[in-house]
Chain A
Amino acid sequence: MKLLSLTAVELGKKIKAGEVTAEEAVLASMDAIEAKEGQVHSFVTIDREGALKQAREVQNKIQEGILTSPLAGVPVAIKDNLCTKGMLTTCSSKILYNFIPTYTAEAVRNLERAGAVILGKTNMDEFAMGSTTETSAYGVTRNPWNTDHVPGGSSGGSCAAVAAEEVCYALGSDTGGSIRQPSSFCGVTGLKPTYGTVSRYGLIAYGSSLDQIGPIAKDVSDCAAILEAIASHDKKDSTSILRKDLDFTSGLTEDVKGMKIGIPRDYLGEGLDAEVKEAVLASAKKLEEQGASVEEFDLSLVEYAIPAYYVIAAAEASSNLERFDGVKYGYRTKEYEGLHNMYKKSRSEGFGTEVKRRIMLGSFVLSSGYYDAYYLKALRTKALIKQAFDRAFAKFDVILGPAAPSTAPKLGESLKDPLKMYLGDIYTVSVNLAGLPAISLPCGLDKKGLPIGLQIIGDCFQEKKIIRAAYAYEQAGTYQRSPLAEQ
């Protein structure tokens, strides 16, 4: 299982050098999965035969010199809300229990073009709605640092699979923190790109104006290389942006001299765990020692981000999830009277509690009489939040803060009080509202031995700046392996 303690780029190098074959890499992952899935349950679907077949094809192309990407031959796990042609894609929902997509998401296609080998699909909160991966219809995922704790969510399966060293890297999606928060809880590195950088074609939509796909890996170098592979301008996604600066790995320099880093005072106040605060401030100090300037400032409006986010996300979800009606794919109720009754019963039986909660809220805030007071009000608040970030980025290169107010809670604690769980998204949701790129990387452990995540936020299209700051920070050797990885 030694191969799996490598980063994706390191493994790719060994494959390119002929020291390891793509097939051996797949077999190493399969062995790890077999040994650890019983404890962690990161995966919904594992495609052993498909992955081995793909690996053999990729290996030939590497030897023929056709595939030269740093990720060629390296196995990857894909969050189960990304469509994979011919491979079960459930969104961890009962309503898609048997859905086999007829096409592959563009981000995954880009990885395939680079020679990645898909191992399977990772567990998540149902339709990416949740912060714990406990709302999955296929069982909970556990945190590889302590299996009594949640891995975070919604990309909990992807983050746990990387932290447990079942796979070297994975793809996740981030609507309100769903890459960064579980990365923080699992002690891995996850990057949410600027909105429009990675095509959303084939990503089963939750909040379309907020959703972005991004990499989850051990370190910043991997995240930069993976993002370089998945980012593309795609005419199949009308919000895809034509960028000419997709050479993210060029941001991998240790030099942060003169970099201006701002820490929002509003991110350090009430609700923040003291140990998390201490670790984040210590990280800032390290960057300061490396030549960056660090200054605290007032970002403002932080407490309005969560209510605005939940209105917008629920509104978009209620619309996006209308397509699940028991007609074209997925679950259909057994007994019904007429079309509307079939719709209602199929949806009510097929969706879980949290999904229904958000559909109801979304339908309410979009209904006539409430649309202006709730939905438009939230969109106006979003405009103000974007302005607050614009003011901050006129002064700072990057913003630094925690990814989450605490380390991973115990299983079963969060779902008792949904509103309290939503409040845990306080440091992540505004980034999605403003379309910004942000990374979460490990910055130490708390007294319980659980990882703490450092979040670095950049202005739109400034991924390279956050990559630079994060890369400089992690040179101190901040990555630690989880107990399950060491097994």
Chain B
Amino acid sequence: MKQTESSTFTVQTGRTVISDETMEYVGILGKLELTQEERQAAKKDMERMLDYIDKLNELDTSGVEPMSHVFSVNNVFREDIVEDRDGGEDTLANAPERRERAFVVPKTVDQ
């Protein structure tokens, strides 16, 4: 796509600055461990993206309800009836590590 000089396709960059602490925090939330290099690249990408997303602030949305779903839907309830046979063995076959009928995970609680 051609970049042209006008509002939709021109992004003013350099406005959003994300601190290293915030990047660290986002890494914890996303459960990702990035190398120093990856983190710098991710920070730059995210700042640029947020600069672009800031475009939304041009819009006056006061009084507009956030729309999470396009149709007015409610919770759907159904009876909790077992319909499948026991798929335990097939499910466990996908586990990176298993012992008998259980998933093996690293120790989670110290004595």
Contact = CB atoms under 8 A, between A and B. Distances in A.
Interchain residue pairs A-B with the least CB separation, the first 6 = A379-B66, A435-B70, A332-B96, A329-B94, A380-B61, A383-B67
Contact of B1 (A357, A378, A406): A406
A100 B76 CA distance: 29
B4 A383 contact: no
Contacts of B4: 270-271
Interface residues of B, number: 62
A357 B42 contact: yes
Interface residues on A, range: 35 or more
A191 interface: no
Contacts of B25: 367
A265 to B, nearest CB: 13
Given A329-B95, A347-B32, A348-B33, A303 B7 contact: yes
A336 B97 CA distance: 14
A143 to B, nearest CB: 17
A185 interface: no
Nearest to A338: B106
B36 interface: no
Contact of B59 (A102, A336, A339, A384): A384
Interface string A165-181: 00000000000000000
A376 B66 contact: yes
A344 interface: yes
Contact of A271 (B9, B52, B66): B9
Given A330-B94, A332-B97, A343-B31, A423 B1 contact: yes
A311 interface: yes
Interface stretch (A53-61, A116-124, A318-326, A469-477): A318-326
A271 B95 contact: no
Nearest to A362: B30
Q: Is the interface of B mostly helix, strand, loop or mixed?
A: loop
Interface in B71-107: 71, 73, 75-76, 78, 84, 87, 90-91, 93-97, 103, 105-107
9 contacts: A98-B94, A99-B94, A303-B8, A307-B55, A307-B56, A329-B95, A348-B32, A356-B32, A379-B68
A116 to B, nearest CB: 22
A424 B61 CA distance: 25
Interface in B7-52: 7-9, 11, 18, 22, 25-27, 29-34, 38, 42, 45-46, 48-50, 52
Interface in A318-373: 318, 322, 325-332, 336, 338-345, 347-348, 351, 356-357, 359-367
Contact of A327 (B2, B22, B56, B105): B105
Interface of A is mostly: helix
Interface stretch (A39-47, A151-159, A235-243): A235-243
A356 B42 contact: yes
Nearest to B74: A238
Contacts of A209: 68-70
A263 B106 CA distance: 58
B42 to A, nearest CB: 5
Contacts of B58: 304
A196 interface: yes
A330 B45 contact: no
A103 B7 contact: no
B58 to A, nearest CB: 8
A394 interface: no
B32 A102 contact: no
Contacts of A273: 1-2
A386 interface: yes
Contacts of A127: none
Given A99-B94, A359-B30, A381-B56, A423 B65 contact: no
A239 B69 contact: yes
A145 interface: no
Contact of B95 (A311, A328, A383): A328
B70 A195 contact: yes
A115 B52 CA distance: 47
A391 interface: no
